[in-house]
Structure 1
Amino acid sequence: MTDQPYPAEFARSDVSGVFTADAKARFALCYPETAHVLTHSLLQHPLLDLEALAHLGEQLPEKSLEYNRGDLPIGIRPEDIPSNGLTIGETIRRIDSANSWCVLKNIEQVPAYRDLLLTLLGELEDVTSATTGEMLRPEGFVFVSSPGSMTPYHFDPEHNILLQLRGWKTMTVFPAGDPRFAAPEAHEAYHSGGGPRNLPWDDALAAHGTDHRLEPGQAIFVPVMAPHYVRNGDKPSISLSITWRSEWSYAETDAHAMNSVLRKYGLKPAPPRRYPVNNLVKSYGYRALRKLGLD
């Protein structure tokens, strides 16, 4: 599939200067640990038109698609999320009235979208390389949401910038690394391969989140593993998420997995430290266990 040319009517156009100097300066000030809103100029790209995205959804493999009804609670188990009864193409083309939410995962599988992703990340690479080093494993995700739809409470392992392209939404972000908002056991289950990203929700948590309203032309940087949920506004929404990993984020992942091993032996390990502290001791320990097949 990755070798298929993308249809001419959705041909890519070159982009440059999507993030202004002011946006990059703010990003540099807050990266990598503080959620913050940026501005961008990526609003009319042909690859991000609704019909182009419907076509993309129909071309991606099933494992790269997630779509369901949008009227969800903040907290819900993945296995309890109801289907919307539509195909991915129908979901996107009818998003105004489909009462649905969908994400197209790993859009970089299509060369035109990979070019777009790498161009956008390239604008920020001088900032990230000075702190967390090389941008590793670049990935792109497109979210298409009906009015009022909800992305439940969860965390993500990547450094992430979400660009709002159409409609508006509010992302509520909680501090990363705080066990009040994501228990150590939830991180450990996820990073050792046995748990979901979705987190249990308690209304008592609401007062501790920070709401960030995103309009077209705005973006938000979300730190690694910062819990959050997203509520769409009263219009259909399109958002593009550009993500990357770093050696620091991989070390944190391994440290969580190592803690899972230690907990099996009745220990109560301290959670991984947040940036700028690295987690190399536990990371190297877990990588050694994995190489020996003892993880």
Structure 2
Amino acid sequence: MSDIARLRGSLVPLVTPFRDGAVDWEGFAGLIEWQIASGSHGLVITGTTGEPSALTFEERVGLYRLAVEVARGRVPIIAGTGTNNFEETVRLSQAAQAAGVDALLVVVPYYVRPSQEGLFRYFKGIAERVDLPIILYNIPGRTAAHLEVDTVARLREACPNIIGIKEANKDFEHINRLLHRMGRDFRVYSGIELLCFPVLAIGGAGYVSATGNVLPDRVARLYDLVAAGRWREAQDLHYELLPLNDALFIETNPVPAKTALGMMGKISPEVRLPLAPMRPENVERLRQVLRAYSLIP
């Protein structure tokens, strides 16, 4: 098993860059180097922000391999391997393990709307077929299913390698109850940008924030300030990041983040269907916000 002590802080859900319709492997490697140099604590590959449903099995595995190769152990690599098909998720998870990743992020299966018993059996079945730490991923707004506290507790008891959960969940009461039930050694990560700081304040282990794609140094610094007990500075930074957080969600993630990275000259802003380029008025709004943060001229 990997060193789970490293799975803390700003775990950036990296975008998958495309150029002329194909994966931009060189651009992807460049983003990893930039993230590490900027102080990000870990990287999530093919999470929601990485457009996993638009990638082939082979592309996803290729991204895991390249991320491990480029990172060279400097930060943990977490592979988003979830799908809505059990056997495909197992195959991706096993391939990610073979590629050398440090942990898996497995989303609640979308579209299917399984029962809590179905979710328990699904995640238990995956955990039994890999030897890596697993972070559950609860994102009710995209999956139309909600992983309840009781089910998470059952999974933790049944599966020692299930070590945490990413909550892309605006129900802050639920997150409080989850930490109270599991204990603060169970790693809870915020997947909602405006809850990154509040989740740290109640004992969370970190966050998986799309904003880290665009402003990785300051997003990582939020965790560093909290870890150092510098709460007032962290609070100030939380509010400083708010306008950018809002701007990066004026259209469906990751379209604004990739548009921003295109404006910054990091990658092409391309997305794959069914996502589409941003509307012109929103591009201009995003441009003004990036200028306010001195990210573009």
TM bucket (normalised to shorter chain) is under 0.3
Q: Which has the larger radius of gyration?
A: 1
Larger helix fraction of residues = 2
TM-score (norm 1): 0.25
Give the structure with the higher percent strand: 1
Which fold has the larger relative contact order, with Cα–Cα distance below 8 Å and residues 6 or more apart in sequence? 1
TM-score, reference length from structure 2: 0.25
